[in-house]
Amino acid sequence: MTLRGPATVMRDESGATAVEFAMVAPVLLTMLFGLFDLGHNMYTAQMLQGAIQKSARDSTIESAATSSAQLDSMVTKAVRAIAPGATLTFRRKSYSNFTAVARPEDYTDLNASGICDNGEAFEDANGNGTWDKDMGKDGFGGARDAVLYTVSVSYNRLFPIAAFIPGQSKTFTMATSTVLRNQPYGQQGQTLPKTGNCI
């Protein structure tokens, strides 16, 4: 066995590739996992959007209220095909027309506070007896009503991005919604909304 001198050791480059790879690998893996995670989440979002569009169209017919579990099951099946174990939450709110979607109930703002208070009069569009920031009624609504259908999804990330990027959660959550008008399967009620006073 021969000993190498200091000059030989200084010129020796064997093993340099392994050291360079060890320095670059964490950054490379973080970028790859990040891209894969982003692609998976975008694909899941597209599948969810397509599924709720189909389900929302099926919800516009008169018999939809009796088959809500079946409609929601269809969306769940489509999402879980690419995000196994996903948790889905469904919500439907109906409005008399498209312009009323996600709008507060009308009220008389006497003190210009921006909220309904101090006994100010309001129009109880959803009939629950209190002023609401969203005038929608829960459920499918009636004929010709506009229905806001919202689905929230939460699932474990497919790639371990949380281990590489601080602040990232192991789960990913998204929500998507669509608004469609019910078919004219009957006469829409023409009753005027009740009024009340804010507390």
Q: What is the pLDDT of residues 111-128, one digit of tens each?
A: 888 888 888 888 888 888
Q: Is residue 6 part of a domain?
A: no
Q: Is residue 121 part of a domain?
A: yes
Question: For position 89, what pLDDT does the model report?
Answer: 95
Task: Provide the domain limits for residue 20.
Answer: 14-197
Q: Is residue 19 part of a domain?
A: yes
CB atoms near residue 147 (< 10 Å): 24
Q: Is residue 52 part of a domain?
A: yes
Rounded Cα–Cα distance for residues 86 and 82 (Å): 9
Q: Is residue 8 part of a domain?
A: no
Q: Is residue 4 part of a domain?
A: no
Q: DSSP code of 62?
A: G
Number of domains composing the chain:
1
Closest C-alpha among 9, 36, 74, 19 to residue 157: 36
Q: Is residue 3 part of a domain?
A: no
Q: Is residue 7 part of a domain?
A: no
Decide: pTM greater than 0.85. Answer: no
Q: What is the percent of the chain where pLDDT is above 90?
A: 27
